[in-house]
Amino acid sequence: MKIGVIGAGYVGLITSVCLADRGYAVQCWDSDERKISLLSSGKSPIFEESLEPLLKKNIGKNFSVENVSKMPGKLKDFDVVFVCVGTPSRQDGSVDLTQIYSAADSIAMGLKSLGGGKRILIVVKSTVIPGTTEELKRYLEKKTGLKSGGDFGIAMSPEFLREGLAVKDFFYPDRMVFGVEEKKDYALLSSLFAFVKCPMMETDLKTAEMIKYASNAFLATKISFINEIGNLGKKLGIDAYEVAKGMGLDSRIGPKFLEAGIGFGGSCFPKDVKALVAKFKQEKISAAVLESVMAINEKQPLLLVEVACRREGSFKGKAVGVLGLAFKAGTDDMRESRAIPIVNALVSEGAKVIAFDPEATDNARKIFGSKINYASNAKDVISKCDFIFVLTAWPEFKEDIYGSKHVYDGRRILPGKSGGNYEGICW
Ligand code: UGA
């Protein structure tokens, strides 16, 4: 079976490289020449620890990558094509489908030249609002004059992998969801992924799309929920992690995603919850829960600044250390990182910020530029600063490195009880 993948972003790369590693011949297409040349030399354009060894092993063998302009002429050689392009937020929170439709134009060109000679299954893996894959199908039909079902198949299979753990999540997912219009497409996809041992669910296109949004929105809700409980707990002298432990022992609740802190960031939760809220609005339905989830998440990082301010007074002219800038440990990704509003607040209060992150400094420079200083290790930050904010749970920040400095912990990286030199946000 020959597999094509459009988009060499997070989802596209992991899908391509992991399927190639399982013995499939995989061709990936992207429009970014820098990415193509990096990948062709075996280097990953993203920081994902276990990806590069698999990439090096498979590049030029089962896996290759080239410009998407070459795709239409080659489409006939492929059995399944995954669409893994980005679906960023527009200004109003709704999804920008420009990349989806640009991929659709390339697919349409290829399908048209095939003229229905071979049935290729197009599988949308990008996160798209319910109804999008069906619209895409109609768009392809209109552009090519072909009929879905007979001439080409369409499916929607959401991706649930986490950054930093993406390869592991690909091979050992909790479940796979295949939204299809025909039984044979479910059979094809479940046999393609037969090497993955997990429950596989067959459903329709728009339910598959909704499962992805509802899953991310639910996890984001758990986080904002425990943060809200933790904010009250902070006032009452109650540790949110003890509360979460007690709650999590109830198997109906479970212990995961109840880690209180400065909130959720990354390329997915904020974008997906906003997109879902925008869809509620478009359908004129109240999204009270999800709007609150976002509102809590917006305020949450600034509460840590308030905790510090209560104790330190004004930040003006003070050297303030920031350990951790990435949206979570194990990645260099700064997108929607909760460190961004914290650093901006400190700078606007007149603090001299000195920051360190083991991986995200290059990306941080693109956001903060010379507004802050960048150190090359944690000890340097601690020695130069009056007090320290810990914003990402990198394991090296757990070490006993703080001496007598005041520490404000947004990620429960230190097991310390609040009081003395140490303050947590929700404990
Ligand atoms: C998330 C989902 O976990 C994946 O299942 C999904 O596939 C992915 O989005 C996506 O849609 O592509 P990811 O963004 O990589 O994955 O990161 P998570 O590990 O879920 O963490 C998201 C944010 O929530 C981080 O800022 C993290 O620090 C925060 N978080 C997580 C908490 O504040 N508390 C928790 O208990 C868990």
Residues with CB under 6 A from ligand 1: 159-163, 216, 219, 223, 257-259, 261, 263-266, 268-269, 327-328
In single-letter form, the type of residue at position 358 comes to P
The answer to whether the Cα torsion of 349, 355, 359, 362 is positive or negative is positive
Least confident range of 69-83, 321-335, 411-425: 411-425
pTM of the model: 0.96
CATH architecture of residue range(s) 2-203: 3-Layer(aba) Sandwich (3.40)
Distance in Å, CA 259 to ligand 1 centroid: 11
pLDDT class of 104 with cuts at 50, 70, 90: very high
Pairing of the two strands 152-156 and 176-180:
antiparallel
SS3 string of 359-374? CCHHHHHHHHHHHCEE
Alpha helices in 85-204 (DSSP H): 98-114, 132-144, 166-171, 183-192
The residue whose two tokens read 């802190």 is 261
Please indicate whether residue 268 is annotated as part of the active site.
yes
Asked if pLDDT for residue 162 goes beyond 80, the answer is: yes
CA 149 to chain CA centroid, nearest Å: 32
Asked if pLDDT for residue 117 goes beyond 90, the answer is: no
pLDDT class of 304 with cuts at 50, 70, 90: very high
Please name the residue whose Cα sits nearest to atom 29 of ligand 1. 264
pLDDT digits (tens, 9 = 90+) for 22-61: 999 999 999 999 999 999 999 999 888 899 999 999 999 9
Asked if pLDDT for residue 116 goes beyond 90, the answer is: no
Show the beta-strand stretches assigned E in 151-209: 152-156, 176-180, 200-203
What is the longest distance spanned by two Cα atoms in the chain?
74
Please name the residue whose Cα sits nearest to atom 17 of ligand 1. 162
Please choose from 269, 274, 293, 390 the residue to mutate so as to test ligand 1's pocket, defined by most ligand atoms within 8 A of CB.
269
Same fold, 2-203 and 235-424: yes
The chain-wide mean pLDDT, for the chain, equals 96
Please state the rounded mean pLDDT for residues 265-272: 95
- How many percent of the chain have pLDDT more than 70? 100
Q: ∠ CA(388), CA(391), CA(393), 5° rounding?
A: 115
The residue whose two tokens read 């069906």 is 134
Please name the residue whose Cα sits nearest to atom 20 of ligand 1. 162
Tell me the C-alpha to C-alpha distance, in Å, between residue 130 and each of 122, 207, 214, 372, 409. 17, 7, 11, 42, 39
Q: What is the pLDDT of residue 93?
A: 87
Q: What is the pLDDT of residue 256?
A: 97
What would the two tokens of residue 343 be? 């650093």
Distance in Å, CA 163 to ligand 1 centroid: 8
Distance in Å, CA 148 to ligand 1 centroid: 35
Task: Parse the chain into domains and list their residue ranges.
Answer: 2-203, 235-424
Please state the rounded mean pLDDT for residues 8-22: 97
Please choose from 268, 296, 298, 338 the residue to mutate so as to test ligand 1's pocket, defined by most ligand atoms within 8 A of CB.
268
Please name the residue whose Cα sits nearest to atom 24 of ligand 1. 264
Q: What is the pLDDT of residue 295?
A: 98
Q: What is the pLDDT of residue 420?
A: 87
Q: What is the pLDDT of residue 55?
A: 97
pLDDT class of 180 with cuts at 50, 70, 90: very high
Q: What is the pLDDT of residue 365?
A: 98
The helix (run of H) or strand (run of E) holding residue 20 is helix 10-21
Distance in Å, CA 303 to ligand 1 centroid: 20
pLDDT class of 270 with cuts at 50, 70, 90: very high
Distance in Å, CA 402 to ligand 1 centroid: 28
Please state the rounded mean pLDDT for residues 75-99: 94
- What CATH fold (topology level) applies to the domain 235-424? Rossmann fold (3.40.50)
Residue of 18, 28, 268, 426 with catalytic role: 268
Q: What is the pLDDT of residue 114?
A: 86
What would the two tokens of residue 46 be? 């993203």
Asked if pLDDT for residue 416 goes beyond 90, the answer is: no
Please state the rounded mean pLDDT for residues 390-412: 96
